[in-house]
Chain A
Amino acid sequence: MIADNGPVPKTSPPTPAILAKTRRSAIPEDPDEFFVLLKEACQGAPHSDGLIAEVTRRATQGTLGPRELHQVLLAGDHGKWAAAREAAWAAVSAAPEHAVTILNLEAQRLGGSLGMVEGMAEEGVFTAQASIGNVPAAGQVAGGASKKTARRAAALSLLAILSGFPDPTVGAAGPREAVAAFKPPQYGDREVEEWLDSEVARDHPDPMLIGALKVRRLTVRMLYLLLFEADPRGWAEARAIAWEQLRGNPLQAGGVLTLRTQAERRPSVRYLEFANTTAMAVTEDDRGPVLGEPATAVTWKGARAGAALALIAELIPPPAGQPEQRAGTGNPVGELNERAQIGTIGDLTYEVSVTGPPHQPFFTCRASCVHNAMPVSAAAGGRGKAEAKAAAAAALLEQLEDGDKAERDGTTRPVAEARGPVGITGKLLRAGCDFGYRQGRLELGPLPEPLDGWTASLEQALPGLAAAPGPWGQAARAILAAVAERRVYPSVDADGRDRWLPLLDAPLPEEVPAGFAGDVADLLLRPPGARLILGAVPYASAPRTLDDHAADWADRCAEIANPVPPKPIIIRVHPGTTPHAEIHPEELGEPELRRLRRAARQWPPLERIRRGETAINGAELIALLAAELPGITVEWPIEVARQLTVGTVLRTSGAHSSASAAHVDWRLFLDGEPLTEEEQAAVAAADGMVRLRGAWVVADPNLLRRPRPREVTGGQALAAALTGQLTLEGRPVPCVAGGELRDLVMRLRQDADSTTGIPAGLTAVLRDYQRRALDWLARVTGAGFGALLADEMGLGKTLTVIAYHLHRGGEQPTLVVCPASLLANWEREFAKFAPGVTVRRYHGLARDLEGLSPGEVVVTSYGTMTRDSDRLAAMQWELVVADEAQQIKNHRSQAARALRTLPASTRIAVTGTPVENTLSELWAILDWTNPGLFGTLTAFRERYGRAEHNPGGEAAATLARLIGPFMLRRAKSDPGVAPELPEKVVSDRFVTLTDEQAALYRAVTRQTLDQVKASTGMARRGHVLRLLQALRQICNSPAQYLRQPPTGWDPDAESARSGKLQALEELLEQALAAGDAALVFTGYVSMGHLIMSHLAARGVAADFLHGGVPVTRRQELVDRFQAGENPVLVLSVRAAGFGLNLTRARHVIHFDRPWNPAVEDQATDRAHRIGQHATVQVHHLIAEGTVEDRIAELLARKRELTEAVLSGGETAFTELDDAELTALVELSGGMT
Chain B
Amino acid sequence: MTTQWWLEETPPPEVPGVPRLTLLLDDAAARAAALLRGEPEPVSDDPLADAVRILAGPGGHEFVAEAARQTGLPEEELRRLVLAHRHGGSTGVLTALAPAPVDPAEAIREIQARRGFAGLTAEPGMVTDLTAKVQVRHGADGRWYPFTLWRDRWWPATGATISPGAAFQAAQRARRAR
Chain A positions within 8 Å of B, measured between CB atoms, are 372-375, 410-412, 414-417, 422, 459, 462-463, 466-467, 477, 480-490, 498, 521, 524-535, 537-540, 546-547, 549-550, 552-554, 556-558, 560-561
Contacts and interface: CB of A to CB of B under 8 A. Distances in A.
Interface stretch (B52-60, B103-111, B118-126, B127-135): B52-60
Interface in B59-113: 63, 66-67, 70-71, 89, 91
Nearest to A477: B36
Given A488-B25, A540-B16, A527 B9 contact: no
A746 B30 CA distance: 74
A544 to B, nearest CB: 10
B120 to A, nearest CB: 18
Contacts of A375: 166
Interface in B1-44: 1-2, 4-6, 8-16, 20-21, 23-33, 35-36, 38-44
A558 B21 CA distance: 15
B71 A373 contact: no
A498 B142 CA distance: 40
Contacts of A546: 14
Contacts of B49: 529
Given A462-B35, A539-B21, 13 more contacts: A372-B158, A373-B159, A412-B40, A417-B42, A482-B32, A489-B6, A528-B50, A529-B53, A532-B51, A534-B16, A538-B15, A540-B20, A550-B12
B60 to A, nearest CB: 8
Nearest to A479: B32
Contact of B28 (A373, A488, A538, A552): A488
Contacts of B152: none
A557 B13 CA distance: 15
B14 A527 contact: no
Nearest to A480: B32
B65 to A, nearest CB: 10
B71 A532 contact: yes
Q: Say what secondary structure dominates the interface of chain A.
A: helix
Given A488-B25, A489-B6, A557-B6, A527 B43 contact: yes
B161 interface: yes
A549 B67 contact: no
B47 interface: yes
13 contacts: A373-B167, A414-B91, A482-B32, A486-B4, A498-B15, A524-B31, A525-B28, A528-B45, A528-B50, A530-B50, A531-B51, A533-B63, A550-B12
Contacts of A490: 6, 15, 21
Given A486-B25, A537-B16, A540-B20, A415 B141 contact: yes
Contacts of A415: 141-142
A466 B35 contact: yes
B169 interface: yes
Contacts of B24: 525-527, 530, 534, 539-540
Interface centre among B35, B44, B91 (most CB of A within 10 A): B35
Contacts of B142: 415
B5 A535 contact: no
A527 B27 contact: yes
B140 interface: yes
B29 A484 contact: yes
B52 A529 contact: yes
A-B complex: 8 closest residue pairs judged by Cβ atoms:
A529-B51, A529-B50, A373-B170, A373-B159, A483-B32, A532-B51, A557-B6, A549-B12
A373 B166 contact: yes
B14 A547 contact: yes
Contacts of B53: 527, 529
Contacts of A538: 14-16
Contacts of B149: none
B47 to A, nearest CB: 5
Given A553-B12, A560-B6, A528 B173 contact: no
A484 B26 CA distance: 8
Contacts of B12: 549-550, 552-553
B43 A480 contact: no
Interface string B141-178: 11100100000000000110101001101100100000
Contacts of A528: 43-47, 50-51
A374 B24 CA distance: 37
A414 B42 contact: yes
Nearest to A533: B67
Given A373-B173, A557-B6, A560-B9, A530 B43 contact: no
A525 B24 CA distance: 6
